[in-house]
């Protein structure tokens, strides 16, 4: 049985086009917590089965989001441990509430820590280019600005959903010198850029990052122009599955973001593809900024190994 709170969360993410893996993870965890509290399960086994069904449904909100998968996996793992101790349904409800709240809080704390560490990597007068919406990137830029560092930021529109416009509004409201550019102008502005700073939906064991479509192109252009590329990513975005050879799923979104239904009907012989993310090679990334410090992409495997030790693959 899929609970109403879970159905509502999935619909909210879809309709409101929520930006950033951290925000989506928060919505999903709070929905799972509410669903658990409202469960009518009569036995721990029934409760666990219900929880896993709702967890699988929530995972589909954003298939490429590793913090979402890791957060839900953490909750299920804690419930399984509690069941082994003979917990009652009421006790399991409390376990879900505490596990979801704890993971959500740690994810938020990681962004504040990333902001502190990342801001130290920016110098007075730096010109920074960014792409797509990232809570961590925005936090870094705001922190650097609050420290009195004069920055200029090039923000790509990030088509087709144009989340770059939201980034530009937030940065401009903070008082940061912000220029919104079209995606295809990246090569034109890269020579005027000191650093590229992007977020990530996921980090693979080999140090590759999954981020909004277009990130790989920008990183390759920056690499060719000898411009440093930094990726901001909480360690909760590192994918344990990739250590075992699994590939991170690349979500395709509604073609209507590219051509609306009316236009599609006028062009019946045209297929529209709208992949939401791409994979940036670790060779095009200089550093990954995490809440635990700055690492080269080649060191991602160490964090992934630690994650696999702490998170069950059961979800």
Domain 4-111 has CATH 1.10.357.10: no
- What is d(CA 151, CA 127) in angstroms, rounded to the nearest whole number? 6
Q: Helix (H, G, I), strand (E, B), or coil: what is residue 153?
A: strand
Closest CA to 179 of 149, 218, 192: 192
CB atoms within 10 A of CB 3: 22
pLDDT of residue 10: 80
Pairing assessment for the beta strands 127-130 and 195-198 based on DSSP bridges: parallel
Residue 204 is encoded by which pair of tokens?
């693979």
Q: Can you tell me the distance from the alpha carbon of 132 to that of 215, in angstroms, rounded to the nearest whole number?
A: 8
Q: How far apart (Å, rounded) are the C-alpha atoms in residues 95 and 3?
A: 18
- Helix (H) or strand (E) segment spanning residue 209: strand 209-212
**End-to-end alpha carbon distance in the chain:** 17
Asked whether the beta carbons of 187 and 223 are under 8 A apart, the reply is no
Distance separating alpha carbons of residues 52 and 315, to the nearest angstrom? 7
pLDDT at 115: 98
- pLDDT tens profile 227-254: 999 999 999 999 888 877 777 888 888 8
pLDDT at residue number 65: 79
CA distance 105 to 248: 25
From residue 259, give the alpha-carbon distance in Å to each of 81, 160, 273: 48, 10, 10
What's residue 314's pLDDT?
A: 36
Domain ranges of the chain: 4-111, 114-310
**What top-level class would CATH report for the domain 114-310?**
alpha beta
| Owner of token pair 């909480």 | 234
The Cα 26–Cα 99 span in angstroms is: 12
Sheet holding 209-212, edge to edge: 202-203, 209-212, 277-280
In DSSP notation, 244-299 reads GTPPPP--B--GGGTS-HHHHHH-TT-----B-EEEE-GGG--EEEETTEEE-GGG
DSSP string, 46-83: HHHHHHHHHHHHHHTT-TT-HHHHHHHHHHHHHHHHHH
Residues in the chain predicted with pLDDT less than 70, given as ranges, are: 14-20, 63, 308-315
Question: Structure tokens of 69?
Answer: 């998968």
pLDDT digits (tens, 9 = 90+) for 5-17: 888 888 877 665 6
Which among 127, 161, 131, 145 is positioned nearest to 15, based on CA atoms?
161
Structure tokens at 260: 């609306």
**pLDDT the model gives residue 17:** 60
Lookup: tokens for 274: 């709208």
Q: How far apart are CA 206 and CA 209, in angstroms?
A: 9
**CA-based nearest residue to 220, from 209, 233, 204, 235:** 209
């Amino acid at each position: 049985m899929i609970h109403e709170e879970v159905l509502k969360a999935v619909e909210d993410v879809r309709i409101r086009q929520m930006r950033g893996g951290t925000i989506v993870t928060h919505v999903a965890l709070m929905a799972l917590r509410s669903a658990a509290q409202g469960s009518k399960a009569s036995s721990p086994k029934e409760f666990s089965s219900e929880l896993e069904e709702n967890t699988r449904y929530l995972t589909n909100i954003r298939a490429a989001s590793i913090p979402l998968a890791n957060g839900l996996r953490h909750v299920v793992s804690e419930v399984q441990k509690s069941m082994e101790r003979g917990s009652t349904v009421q006790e399991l409800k409390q376990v879900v509430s505490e596990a979801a709240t704890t993971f959500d809080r740690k994810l938020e704390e990681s962004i504040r820590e990333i902001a502190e560490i990342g801001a130290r990597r920016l110098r007075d007068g730096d010109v920074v280019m960014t792409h797509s919406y990232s809570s961590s990137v925005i936090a870094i830029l705001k922190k650097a600005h609050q420290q009195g560092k004069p920055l200029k930021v090039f923000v790509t529109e990030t088509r087709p959903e144009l989340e770059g416009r939201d980034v530009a509004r937030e940065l401009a409201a903070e008082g940061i010198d912000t220029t919104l550019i079209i995606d295809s102008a990246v090569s034109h502005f890269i020579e005027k850029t000191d650093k590229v700073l992007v977020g990530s939906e996921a980090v693979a064991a080999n140090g590759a990052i999954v981020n909004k479509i277009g990130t790989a192109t920008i990183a390759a252009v920056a690499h060719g122009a000898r411009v440093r590329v930094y990726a901001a990513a909480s360690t909760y975005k590192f994918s344990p599955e990739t250590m075992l050879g699994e590939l991170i799923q690349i979500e395709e979104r509604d073609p209507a973001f590219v051509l609306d239904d009316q236009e599609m009907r006028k062009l019946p012989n045209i297929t529209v593809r709208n992949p939401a993310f791409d994979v940036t090679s670790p060779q095009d990334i200089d550093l990954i900024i995490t809440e635990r410090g700055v690492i080269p992409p080649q060191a991602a495997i160490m964090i992934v190994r630690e994650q696999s030790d702490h998170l069950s693959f059961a979800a």
